[in-house]
Chains A and B, each alone.
Chain A
Amino acid sequence: MTPSLVNTLLMLPALLLLAIVFAWPLLDSAWLSTQASSVLTGLSPIANHGANWQRLLGDTRFWQDAAVTLRFALVSVGLELLLGLAMALLLHRPGRGRGWLRALTLLPWALPTTVLALGWRWIYNDPYGPLNAILRAFGAAPYGFLTTPASTWLFTVLADVWKTTPFVALLLLAGLQSIPAELEESLVLEGASPGQILRRLTLPLLKPWISLALLFRLAQALGVFDLVQVLTRVGPAGSTESLALYAYLNAMRFLDFGYSATLVIATFLLLVVLTVLGWLLLRRRALEPSR
């Protein structure tokens, strides 16, 4: 056997696995999105010549969910990056017990989302939750955190930020640790202030790590499902209905598998387009000579 044939054979199991768990479901969903498959068809697929896709284009609920998902992803990832950077800078400073502190800050990220979502649901509970207990202690009236569309959306974002900021911080911390200490010391000798060091040295060198965190988190946040499913479901007036949740509802509640597959594929395409766009943008920026 030639070496290249051996190489191909050795890669075959991995490729097969990828095909089974990734390519096949994707292609199957893509095929299903061209079929009517619901209780009306006795759950057996019947070709409907793009009717699902036509329905999608005119589905205001889909467009609203797309907007909700996009806004959720952009705002929560933006906040996570800012807070994660601050956290990473703090954790990077030398000091006693830093190892423990790092482990501690990772805790929210290590928790299963379902558990933390249940926790936050209790924290936001009106009127018995801890937040309302604090409000009461200050003599304020209890607040319905998850009652209006705007506040529900906001507090869902905060719960997500709480969970995933440590992940961003960890990535950026790894980036900070890859920057040699002499670079900062050299700038200190030039008389640079901490702010100047951050702007002139740390952030430019952290750029690849920031891009990485951004892409990971964006891809995750655009597919948000478990958090909203447990914390708020669709939320008041659909304020927290993500695309993934809508696809889930179509399949599991309305038993419309054809349309659910269409939503899944549409979400997938949106995700691919956005991440590739983001990646291209960041990659070009990172290669540009900075001034």
Chain B
Amino acid sequence: MIDAMPVLPSPAPGLRIEGLSRRLGERTLLADLNLAVAPGECLALLGPSGCGKTTTLRLLAGLDAASAGRILLDGRDITQQSAGERRVAMVFQSYALYPHLSVADNLALGLRIRGMAPKEREGRIAAVLELLQLGELRLRRPAQLSGGQRQRVALARALLRQPRLVLLDEPMSNLDAQLREELRPELRRLLCGGDQPVVYVTHDQQEAMGMADRIAVLRDGALQQVGSARELYERPANRFVAAFLGRPAINLLPAQGQRQLGLRPEHLQPVLHGGIAARLQRREWWGNQQLLWLETAQGDLRMLVAADQSLPEQLQLGWRPEHELWFDSHSGERLAAP
């Protein structure tokens, strides 16, 4: 008999992931992930394909079962709850719109399944159609929509559920680059800053940096670093994070004592004295900037300079000491400056 409920500390709002793992036979898809996402915060899971970011998302959604660890949502352990019980909304990479239903019916189906009264249902659908400016398209089938419109419908369907957690799986990878840029602020306006945490999976570092409040970088199922875009860029935990964030990618030069020196292309500059000798090999003119490919005794380097800067064939390269990033050449861990 329990005669009094134990007094619990007030539940921490938002999402907490504790020691989450998923193994499939011999393979470890995700190992011991620990993360917290505050209400209204947008966390990007960033990494190359196969790094475990989609695995994490599917575990959070309840579509796959965790091998170990816990998922806490607003203080409640939801690890054992079925996907339907979790009140989690997910936007799939393919949008997963029901092809046989109109836009309005795509939105209504979930509410019908939950047994919502028709009047409330129609009201909610009208509101979300209005919010996303989809009213004119309400009778169209998914096949009759453009990529951007489909994405908005998928977003509308996710918002309609009034979820406690929003998950997005590469929601923009099927759109062209220009549309992606245009949609980023809109996506942030609609999703972030509300009551629910948002977890956003992407392999595009620019999208992660543009969308998310914080970024978690994953590699081979293991969390590498989590922090703001700026923290990750300026103080990467290891070589992998340094190379994954920033385009063109960071230059890595061999140095003495099992070290590597990392220098970002925009931190290199021509100097009059000292530095290292370089020979200009190739030039990519980008309009706003130019990327120079240089050959040095230490290896090839990429340098980013202003578009109108003219440089001689032979030059000396320098950089400021505070821009140096040092890595252990075996483990790839970042080291303190020597």
The interface of chain A, by Cβ under 8 A from chain B, is 180, 182-183, 185-192, 196, 200-201, 204-205, 289-291
Contact = CB atoms under 8 A, between A and B. Distances in A.
B109 A190 contact: yes
Interface stretch (B32-40, B99-107, B188-196, B198-206): B99-107
Contacts of B109: 187, 190, 200
Contacts, number: 62
Interface in B87-112: 88-90, 92-94, 96, 98-102, 105, 109-110
Interface residues of B, number: 27
A191 B102 contact: no
Contact of A196 (B83, B113, B141): B113
B161 interface: yes
Contacts of B85: 191
Of the candidates A185, A186, A187, A192, the one having the most CB atoms from chain B within 10 angstroms of its own CB is A186
A194 to B, nearest CB: 11
B154 to A, nearest CB: 9
A165 to B, nearest CB: 26
B114 A185 contact: no
A187 B113 contact: yes
Contacts of A182: 92-94, 96
Contact of B84 (A183, A188, A201, A204): A188
**Does more than half of chain B's interface fall in helix, strand or loop, or is it mixed?**
loop
Nearest to A289: B102
Contacts of B94: 180, 182
A291 B106 CA distance: 10
* 4 nearest A-B pairs in the assembled complex, by CB-CB distance: A191-B84, A190-B110, A182-B96, A186-B96
Interface of B: 61-63, 83-86, 88-90, 92-94, 96, 98-102, 105, 109-110, 113-114, 139, 141, 161
B88 A189 contact: yes
A191 B84 CA distance: 4
A77 B92 CA distance: 38
12 contacts: A182-B94, A182-B96, A186-B92, A186-B96, A186-B98, A188-B63, A189-B84, A190-B114, A191-B114, A200-B113, A289-B102, A291-B105
Of the candidates A185, A190, A196, A289, the one having the most CB atoms from chain B within 10 angstroms of its own CB is A190
Of the candidates B62, B85, B113, B139, the one having the most CB atoms from chain A within 10 angstroms of its own CB is B113
A190 B161 contact: yes
A182 B174 CA distance: 15
Contacts of B102: 289
Nearest to B91: A186
B100 A205 contact: yes
A180 to B, nearest CB: 6
Given A185-B63, A291-B105, A192 B96 contact: no
Nearest to B109: A200
Given A289-B102, A291-B105, A190 B96 contact: no
Of the candidates B61, B63, B86, B93, the one having the most CB atoms from chain A within 10 angstroms of its own CB is B63
Given A188-B84, A189-B84, A190-B161, A180 B96 contact: yes
A180 B99 CA distance: 10
Contacts of B84: 188-192
Nearest to A186: B96
A191 B113 CA distance: 7
Of the candidates B61, B83, B85, B93, the one having the most CB atoms from chain A within 10 angstroms of its own CB is B83
B114 A183 contact: no
Nearest to A197: B113
Contacts of A191: 83-85, 110, 113-114
Contacts of B98: 183, 186, 201
Contacts of A188: 63, 83-84
A291 B108 CA distance: 10
B114 A290 contact: no
Contacts of B161: 190
